[in-house]
Structure 1
């Protein structure tokens, strides 16, 4: 078995073992029962049905068709509203999907690092990555569906219907995870977070998409834009048109726009995510501050600073410290800083090999004056490249069976994830810093002016929304 196969098998076994621990001595229930088809659903699926009528397929409009810009405030309100109506089963399902996407996120983050991105930094969204693959699973038939299900972390077991992953339940859980991140704070206070996900389905002219598939994507990406254009005559021009279209619709600038479109592809499946967080109680320091890229090189960057009680832990054995900063009612920013000469790659290997979440129990409150760079990070990566790096190059290759997306000759080109992540000071009224009182402990100075790691996660579902490495705040990732 290949190293990737061993890693994938180990991941699945870990997931099953975790689920078994949760079940304890109770009567056996399928460890993923909240995510697979129910018996009644299977009975409906197994009934022979008529072939999909043509009116349930459609040809995407041309890319030059007039399109309304994305309203991010409306998207946030929609997510927050959904989060306010959750049942206990919704939360349990979100926790299960959060666990699965964390395993997959760590695995693919390592693959991204191995692809040669260490020099400029890395940022990956496990939630967006998992959602993209789950969306493609929704459009897949066997054997592709079975392989995608295993890669997402759910073993097919006996291959019966009740062991098959229900893609609609997974995408609904992802909507819950997104909603919990931006949920309003206590007493209805407004969240300062933005999280917007937009899907672009770019097809060759004349290719027909199935309406049930496109409608089924709405929980994960409420804005889905099917558009057609010529992908074969001039691939570079096609990429330029797509970039212009997405920037016009979203207003998000990408430093690494789409390129290298394969002329024989008939579908590009691109997910775009924008996250904007504000650090409450932090203010922008006057002037630019030094950030040391390495021991001999520094750059001048805008820095944010704030004093408060934050969860903190210093790991003397591994020469690093961890600081947790609240971003909203349930969203947290975790900052991992190497100590002394400890190399960033060594710390990263320790941090992002499943020790990450276990560390949270070691955090304890501490008065800290925290100084961090203001961040605007952009990244784009092709999931097919990451799958090749993970020794699974054929999972979405030419032989992939995506018959639930279209009955036409479907050849998937790019499967892109593009990220725009911003962290800045709270624009509201800044608190005045009071003088320390007698007997109060002195604030610990924590300044991230050297390369560091970060994660943004939602603590109810434990889902990781972003993992990243910052080596130079002025460089696009």
Structure 2
């Protein structure tokens, strides 16, 4: 039985296609991916003032698979939109996919971290896919390629949903409800993360407390409490504080909390890979009382409507050049669905011993109280790779 663990996060990206090493390093890729993440986040944020949650790594990995399918202007647009242009090597089109492969190996290489990514391509019967593309998909993404009879839409929908459900430990059960009868190829990219806090919160100390959505709206939320030593810092020019909550196995959540009276929308524009790196470098350990809301979110984004704002547009039109995927002309991407789920609660491995060193019992506790809109980032420490990011405006909204 799959139990909700702290920070169970799941995400997937779906591409729906219709017919008629290295000079660069893994850390370069992580930085580029982080700036792409911030750009994508800002576009989504410009549409509404609600909760946001996404996996930049999943979007990038999925589009890198598409990068191997594309040529000409379509390829250049994807490179620029993903912020990967500088990592491109003219003589080695496989350079970027190799970097993603290496990154994935660095993140989950020792097998202790529960982070699973998978890619699958569902192809209409009698559809001709280039052998080189198939080989590259298997080589770099360990991708499954399956043939489906899309005219049997019910059977195809059921098959794809079952695949997604299996890859996401049953967290996403109904990814798609229907398929266009003209669908020729569907690419699904999933990422699943399950993390236990290094220092779990005690559920007995969780109690309802106010969360200030804005000056006029207050909701009651279950607020978790933990008194320990934490890494924290203050970004004075930005008007925000940063708190690091480590998971086990080398992954951490970074909370960015705007100061009281500081509008989170002003901070939206200031978040960058460079700034993120500076937060991590300036973290210092101090004794803190942390109050943080439990929350869970499920978010879906039709990226075909958002990515043109980042310059990735021709792939969704009749001008798409996907000739490296298939010589059968007239291919374009009709849909890119991005779905993410996260659940944040107290649970973790409660038996884990927590060694407390150098805590002065009579020192006055400082507090870090997350009782207003905040941002969070889940990242892999060794590579600085951003796995997930989001903002919480109202923790009671699923």
| Residue 413 (structure 1) aligned with residue 334 (structure 2) | yes
Query: Which of the pair has the greater relative contact order for Cα pairs under 8 Å at 6+ separation?
Result: 2
Report the counterpart of residue 90 of structure 2 in structure 1. 163
Report the counterpart of residue 124 of structure 1 in structure 2. 54
Deviations 1:13-65 (A, max 9, x none): xxxxxxxxxxxxxxxxxxxxxxxxxxxxxxxxxxxxxxxxxxxxxxxxxxxxx
Report the CA distance between 1:256 and its aligned residue: 7.9
Question: SS of 1:386's equivalent?
Answer: helix
Report the CA distance between 1:90 and its aligned residue: 7.5
Report the CA distance between 1:400 and its aligned residue: 1.6
| Residue 314 (structure 1) aligned with residue 203 (structure 2) | no
Whether the 8 Å contact between 1:310 and 1:324 is mirrored in structure 2 is yes
Choose the corresponding residue for 1:464, options 373, 380, 386: 386
Report the CA distance between 1:274 and its aligned residue: 1.6
Report the counterpart of residue 5 of structure 2 in structure 1. none
Whether the 8 Å contact between 2:376 and 2:391 is mirrored in structure 1 is yes
Choose the corresponding residue for 1:289, options 208, 216, 219: 208
| Residue 181 (structure 1) aligned with residue 113 (structure 2) | no
Report the counterpart of residue 108 of structure 1 in structure 2. 40
Question: How far apart are the structure 1 equivalents of 2:137 and 2:299?
Answer: 23
Report the counterpart of residue 26 of structure 1 in structure 2. none
More strand by share: 2
Report the counterpart of residue 7 of structure 1 in structure 2. none
Question: How far apart are the structure 2 equivalents of 1:174 and 1:412?
Answer: 22
Choose the corresponding residue for 1:150, options 71, 77, 80: 80
- Structure 2 unaligned runs (5+)? 1-20
Report the CA distance between 1:135 and its aligned residue: 0.8
More helix by share: 1
Report the counterpart of residue 20 of structure 1 in structure 2. none
- With over 3 angstroms needed to count, the CA separation of the structure-2 counterparts of 1:371 and 1:278, relative to structure 1, is farther
Question: How far apart are the structure 1 equivalents of 2:356 and 2:250?
Answer: 27
Whether the 8 Å contact between 2:207 and 2:224 is mirrored in structure 1 is no
Question: SS of 2:285's equivalent?
Answer: strand
Report the counterpart of residue 273 of structure 1 in structure 2. 191
Larger Rg over CA atoms:
1
Whether the 8 Å contact between 1:266 and 1:411 is mirrored in structure 2 is no
Question: How far apart are the structure 1 equivalents of 2:294 and 2:101?
Answer: 28
Q: TM-score, normalised by structure 2?
A: 0.79
Report the CA distance between 1:446 and its aligned residue: 1.3
Report the counterpart of residue 366 of structure 2 in structure 1. 444
Q: How many residues align?
A: 375
Q: TM-score, normalised by structure 1?
A: 0.67
Report the CA distance between 1:340 and its aligned residue: 1.1
Whether the 8 Å contact between 1:265 and 1:411 is mirrored in structure 2 is no
Deviations 1:287-342 (A, max 9, x none): 55234434444445444433332221123443311112222454221100112121
- With over 3 angstroms needed to count, the CA separation of the structure-2 counterparts of 1:122 and 1:471, relative to structure 1, is same
Worse-matched range after superposition: 238-247 or 280-289 = 238-247
- Structure 1 unaligned runs (5+)? 1-88, 185-189
Report the CA distance between 1:436 and its aligned residue: 9.5
Report the counterpart of residue 365 of structure 1 in structure 2. 285
